[in-house]
C-alpha cells in the first residue's frame, strides 16, 4: 500500500507566485482538470489564488472518461452555477464551446463595447491534464511544448488567439501536501506525478484494486480474464500470465505488468473510465 505521495518541485512554488502576481492583469481563468478524476485534479491552491475571478472549468481528456460520468459531472457543476465544458484536445471537441463561454465573459467584462483592450485569460491546472494541448487548440498552432509527462511547461508565456484574446499559460501546479492520500494516488494513476518517485508495481496494484470494483468487465475483456480474482494481486498475476510477462523460472515480471496496466489505463486502451463521481 502506498501511504503518502508528495511531489512539489521548486518550480511549482514559482508557479504559485506567477499566478498570484499576474491575476491582477487577467480577466478570467480557464481551469483545466482531468475528466477521469474531477475532484482530485482540482488544486485547492488555485481556488485560493483565483478567489472570485471569473472561471471556466475545462474537463479535459473527456474522451478517456466514462461518457455517463461526463454527463453527471457537467450537470453537477452547472447546478452549482459553475461554467464547465467537456474538451478533448486530440480531436478538438469542446473548443468552440469553450471559446463561446470566453466570449460571454468578454462581453460581460466590457459591457458589450466593441472597442476595448484585449480580453486576457489565464490557463491553470495541475501537471499533465493537457493544458498545453488545449492552448494549441485555442491558438490553432503548435505554440507551446507538449509532453506526456508532468512538468513540461516551465515558464510564463503570453499568446494571442485568432479572436484577439490574449492567453497566459502557466506551468502545472500541485500543492505541498495531499491531506487525503487517495488524491495523490489518483493523480499518480493519471500521470500527474512523476512515475520515477513511485514504486510502479505498487501503484499499478492499487489501480487494479480500484478497477476491479468500478470496471470489472472492462478489465476482464482487455486482459482476457475469465473472471476477476478476489485478491487484486492475483488479478495482477493473471494479467501477467495472459500477456506472458514472465521472468526466468516462471516468475512474474511485476514491473512490466505494472507498466502495461498504467500505460493502457492512461491511454484509455482498457476503456473509458472515471474514478470519481459526484456525491
Domains of the chain: 10-169 (3.40.50.300), 199-266 (1.10.1580.10)
Do residues 232 and 209 touch, judged by C-beta distance below 8 A? yes
With cut-offs at 50, 70 and 90, classify the pLDDT of residue 148: very low
Residue 262, all three cell numbers: 498504467
Residue with more model confidence, 153 or 66: 66
pLDDT of 8-63, one tens digit each?
555 566 767 777 788 888 999 999 999 999 999 988 888 888 888 899 999 999 99
pTM of structure: 0.86
Do residues 164 and 118 touch, judged by C-beta distance below 8 A? yes
Do residues 139 and 184 touch, judged by C-beta distance below 8 A? no
State the pLDDT at residue 93. 95
With cut-offs at 50, 70 and 90, classify the pLDDT of residue 82: very high
Ranking 125-129, 150-154, 159-163 by mean pLDDT, the lowest is 150-154
pLDDT of 165-224, one tens digit each?
999 876 656 555 566 778 889 999 999 888 887 899 999 999 999 999 999 999 999 999
Q: Report how far residue 245's alpha carbon sits from residue 242's, in angstroms, rounded to the nearest whole number.
A: 8
Q: Report how far residue 89's alpha carbon sits from residue 185's, in angstroms, rounded to the nearest whole number.
A: 24
State the pLDDT at residue 16. 73
Residue 111, all three cell numbers: 459591457
Do residues 1 and 206 touch, judged by C-beta distance below 8 A? yes
| All residues at 6 or more sequence positions from 81 whose CB lies less than 8 Å from its CB, including other chains | none
Q: Per-residue pLDDT averaged across 67-76, rounded?
A: 97
| All residues at 6 or more sequence positions from 170 whose CB lies less than 8 Å from its CB, including other chains | 15, 18, 19, 22, 122, 123, 124, 153, 156
Q: Per-residue pLDDT averaged across 248-267, rounded?
A: 97
Ranking 54-68, 70-84, 105-119 by mean pLDDT, the lowest is 105-119
| All residues at 6 or more sequence positions from 35 whose CB lies less than 8 Å from its CB, including other chains | 59, 60, 61, 62, 64, 65, 69, 70, 73, 86, 274
Amino acid at each position: 500500500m502506498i501511504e503518502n505521495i508528495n511531489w512539489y518541485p521548486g518550480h511549482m512554488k514559482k508557479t504559485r507566485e506567477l499566478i498570484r502576481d499576474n491575476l491582477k492583469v487577467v480577466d478570467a481563468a480557464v481551469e483545466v482538470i482531468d475528466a477521469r478524476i474531477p475532484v482530485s485534479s482540482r488544486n485547492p491552491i488555485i481556488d485560493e489564488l483565483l478567489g472570485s475571478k471569473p472561471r471556466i472549468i475545462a474537463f479535459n481528456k473527456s474522451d478517456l472518461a466514462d461518457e455517463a460520468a461526463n454527463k453527471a459531472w457537467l450537470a453537477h457543476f452547472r447546478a452549482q452555477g459553475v461554467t464547465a465544458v467537456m474538451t478533448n484536445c486530440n480531436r478538438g471537441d469542446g473548443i468552440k464551446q469553450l471559446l463561446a463561454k470566453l466570449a460571454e465573459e468578454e462581453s460581460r467584462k466590457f459591457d458589450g463595447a466593441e472597442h476595448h483592450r484585449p480580453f486576457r485569460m489565464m490557463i491553470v491546472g495541475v501537471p499533465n491534464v493537457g493544458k498545453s494541448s488545449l492552448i494549441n487548440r485555442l491558438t490553432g498552432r503548435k505554440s507551446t511544448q507538449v509532453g506526456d509527462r508532468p512538468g513540461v511547461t516551465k515558464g510564463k508565456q503570453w499568446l494571442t488567439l485568432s479572436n484577439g484574446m490574449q492567453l497566459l499559460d502557466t506551468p502545472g501546479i500541485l500543492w505541498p501536501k495531499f491531506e487525503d492520500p487517495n488524491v495523490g494516488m489518483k493523480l499518480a494513476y493519471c500521470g500527474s506525478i512523476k512515475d520515477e518517485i513511485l514504486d510502479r508495481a505498487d501503484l499499478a496494484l492499487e489501480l487494479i484494486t480500484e478497477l476491479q470494483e468500478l470496471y470489472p468487465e472492462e478489465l476482464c475483456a482487455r486482459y482476457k480474464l475469465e473472471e476477476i480474482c478476489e485478491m487484486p494481486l492475483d488479478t495482477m498475476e493473471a494479467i501477467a500470465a495472459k500477456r506472458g510477462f514472465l521472468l526466468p523460472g516462471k516468475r512474474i515480471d511485476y514491473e512490466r505488468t505494472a507498466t502495461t496496466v498504467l500505460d493502457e489505463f492512461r491511454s484509455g486502451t482498457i476503456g473509458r473510465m472515471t474514478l470519481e463521481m459526484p456525491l
